[in-house]
Structure 1
Amino acid sequence: MHRYRTHNCGALSLSEAGQTVRLSGWVHRVRDHGGLLFIDLRDHYGLTQIVADPDSPAFGTAETLRSEWVIRVDGTVKERDAEAVNPNLSTGNIEIFARDIEVLSEAKELPLPVFGDLDYPEEVRLKYRFLDLRREKLHNNIVLRTKVVSEMRRQMALSNFTEYSTPILTASSPEGARDFLVPSRIHAGEFYALPQAPQIYKQLLMVSGFDRYFQIAPCFRDEDPRADRLPGEFYQLDLEMSFVTQDDVLATMEPVMRDVMTTFADGKPVTETFRRIPYDEAIRKYGSDKPDLRNPIEMEEVSDHFRDSGFKVFANILASSPKNQVWAIPAKSGGSRAFCDRMNSWAQQQGQPGLGYIFWREEGGVIAGAGPLAKNIGPERTEAIREQLGLGSGDACFFVAGDPKSFASFAGAARDRAGQELGLVDEDRFELCWIVDFPFFEWNEEEKRIEFAHNPFSMPQGGMDALIEAEKGGDEALLGLKAFQYDMVCNGFEIASGGIRNHLPETMVKAFELAGLSKEVVEERFGGLYRAFQYGAPPHGGMAAGVDRVIMLLAGAKNLRDVSLFPMNQQARDLLMGAPAPPTNAQLRELNMRVIPREKD
Structure 2
Amino acid sequence: MYRSHTCGELRISHIGNTVTLAGWVQTVRKFGSITFVDLRDRYGITQLLFGEELNKQLDENPLGREFVVQATGKVNERSSKNANIPTGDIELLVESFSILNKSAVPPFTIQDDTDGGDDLRMKYRFLDLRRNAVKKNLELRYAVNRSARNYLHENNFMDIETPFLIKSTPEGARDFVVPSRMNPGQFYALPQSPQTFKQLLMVSGYDRYYQIVKCFRDEDLRADRQPEFTQIDCEMCFVEQEDILNMFEGLIKRIFKDVKGIDYTEAVERMTWEEAMWQYGNDKPDIRFGMKLCNLKFPAHTFPAKESLSSLIAGDFAVFNDAETVIAIAVPGCAEYTRKQTDELTEWVKRPQIGMKGLVFIKCNADGTYKSSVDKFYSEEKLKAIADAAGAKAGDLVLILAGTEERTRKATSELRLEMGKRLGLRKADEFKLLWVLDFPLFEFALEDQDGGGAGRWVARHHPFTSPKPAHIETMINNSPKVADLDKYLEHPYAGIKANAYDMVLNGNEIGGGSIRIFQRELQEKMFAALGMDAEEQQHKFGFLLGAFEYGAPPHGGIAFGFDRLCSILGGSESIRDFIAFPKNNSGRDVMLDAPSEIAEKQFDELSIKLNLK
The two structures share one fold, judged by TM-score above 0.5: yes
**Contact map agreement 2:33 2:55 (CA 8 A) in 1:** no
Residue 186 of structure 1 aligns to a residue in which SS? Answer: coil
Q: Of residues 589, 594, 599 in structure 1, which corresponds to 2:609?
A: 594
Unaligned runs of 5+ in 1: 319-323
**Partner residue of 1:19?**
17
**Partner residue of 1:525?**
540
User: Is the counterpart of residue 211 in structure 1 residue 226 in structure 2?
Assistant: no
Letter in 1 for 2:238: F
- Residue correspondence of structure 1 range 142-541 to structure 2 within 5 A: 142-231=138-227, 233-265=228-260, 270=264, 272-303=266-297, 304-307=308-311, 309-313=314-318, 315-317=320-322, 324-335=324-335, 336-338=337-339, 339-349=341-351, 350-363=354-367, 367-446=368-447, 447-461=454-468, 462-468=470-476, 471=479, 475-476=488-489, 477-541=492-556
Aligned equivalents of 1:119 and 1:221: distance in 2?
A: 33
For residue 532 of structure 1, report the CA deviation from its aligned partner.
0.7
Aligned equivalents of 1:525 and 1:58: distance in 2?
A: 74
**Contact map agreement 1:23 1:73 (CA 8 A) in 2:** yes
Residue 526 of structure 1 aligns to a residue in which SS? Answer: helix
Give the alignment's Cα RMSD to 1 decimal: 2.0
TM value normalised by structure 2: 0.91
For residue 419 of structure 1, report the CA deviation from its aligned partner.
1.3
For residue 62 of structure 1, report the CA deviation from its aligned partner.
8.6
Aligned equivalents of 1:472 and 1:39: distance in 2?
A: 73
Q: Of residues 38, 45, 48 in structure 2, which corresponds to 1:47?
A: 45
For residue 313 of structure 1, report the CA deviation from its aligned partner.
2.4
- Residue correspondence of structure 1 range 52-67 to structure 2 within 5 A: 52-56=50-54, 59-60=57-58, 64-67=62-65
Residue 511 of structure 1 aligns to a residue in which SS? Answer: helix
TM value normalised by structure 1: 0.93
Aligned equivalents of 2:250 and 2:124: distance in 1?
A: 40
Residue 359 of structure 1 aligns to a residue in which SS? Answer: strand
For residue 242 of structure 1, report the CA deviation from its aligned partner.
0.3
**Contact map agreement 2:476 2:522 (CA 8 A) in 1:** no
For residue 147 of structure 1, report the CA deviation from its aligned partner.
1.9
**Partner residue of 2:300?**
none
Q: Of residues 560, 568, 589 in structure 2, which corresponds to 1:574?
A: 589
Letter in 2 for 1:131: L
Structure 1's 586 and 472: CA in aligned 2 closer, same or farther, altered over 3 A?
closer
**Cα deviation digits, residues 294-348 of structure 1 (max 9, x gap):** 2322112234554362342255237xxxxx4432211011212433322211111
Residue 510 of structure 1 aligns to a residue in which SS? Answer: helix
Structure 1's 305 and 46: CA in aligned 2 closer, same or farther, altered over 3 A?
same
Structure 1's 138 and 62: CA in aligned 2 closer, same or farther, altered over 3 A?
farther
Aligned equivalents of 1:463 and 1:386: distance in 2?
A: 39
- Size of the aligned set, in residue pairs, is 584
**Contact map agreement 1:271 1:432 (CA 8 A) in 2:** no
For residue 201 of structure 1, report the CA deviation from its aligned partner.
0.2
Structure 1's 463 and 388: CA in aligned 2 closer, same or farther, altered over 3 A?
closer
**Contact map agreement 1:117 1:136 (CA 8 A) in 2:** no
**Cα deviation digits, residues 557-581 of structure 1 (max 9, x gap):** 2311111111122221222223222
**Contact map agreement 2:465 2:500 (CA 8 A) in 1:** yes
**Cα deviation digits, residues 12-47 of structure 1 (max 9, x gap):** 111111111111100011112344311000011111
Letter in 2 for 1:594: K
**Contact map agreement 2:7 2:44 (CA 8 A) in 1:** yes
Residue 534 of structure 1 aligns to a residue in which SS? Answer: coil
Q: Which moved more, 1:341-350 or 1:14-23?
A: 341-350
For residue 246 of structure 1, report the CA deviation from its aligned partner.
0.8
**Cα deviation digits, residues 407-461 of structure 1 (max 9, x gap):** 2211110111121122233332111111111111112232232211122110012
Structure 1's 575 and 52: CA in aligned 2 closer, same or farther, altered over 3 A?
same
Q: Which moved more, 1:489-498 or 1:371-380?
A: 371-380
Aligned equivalents of 1:311 and 1:195: distance in 2?
A: 56
Q: Of residues 114, 119, 127 in structure 2, which corresponds to 1:118?
A: 114
**Contact map agreement 2:295 2:309 (CA 8 A) in 1:** no
For residue 160 of structure 1, report the CA deviation from its aligned partner.
1.5
**Cα deviation digits, residues 219-267 of structure 1 (max 9, x gap):** 0111122100112x11100010001111110111101111112322255
Residue 548 of structure 1 aligns to a residue in which SS? Answer: helix
**Contact map agreement 1:58 1:98 (CA 8 A) in 2:** no
Aligned equivalents of 2:169 and 2:359: distance in 1?
A: 43
Q: Percent identity?
A: 38
Aligned equivalents of 1:333 and 1:252: distance in 2?
A: 40
Aligned equivalents of 2:359 and 2:58: distance in 1?
A: 70
Aligned equivalents of 2:462 and 2:525: distance in 1?
A: 15
Aligned equivalents of 1:243 and 1:205: distance in 2?
A: 13
Residue 204 of structure 1 aligns to a residue in which SS? Answer: helix
For residue 88 of structure 1, report the CA deviation from its aligned partner.
2.1
**Partner residue of 1:91?**
87
Aligned equivalents of 2:36 and 2:446: distance in 1?
A: 68
**Contact map agreement 2:327 2:409 (CA 8 A) in 1:** no
Aligned equivalents of 2:412 and 2:55: distance in 1?
A: 70
Unaligned runs of 5+ in 2: 298-307, 448-453, 483-487
**Partner residue of 1:321?**
none
**Cα deviation digits, residues 497-518 of structure 1 (max 9, x gap):** 1000011111111122222222
**Partner residue of 1:563?**
578
Q: Of residues 560, 565, 570 in structure 2, which corresponds to 1:550?
A: 565
Residue 182 of structure 1 aligns to a residue in which SS? Answer: strand
Letter in 2 for 1:244: V
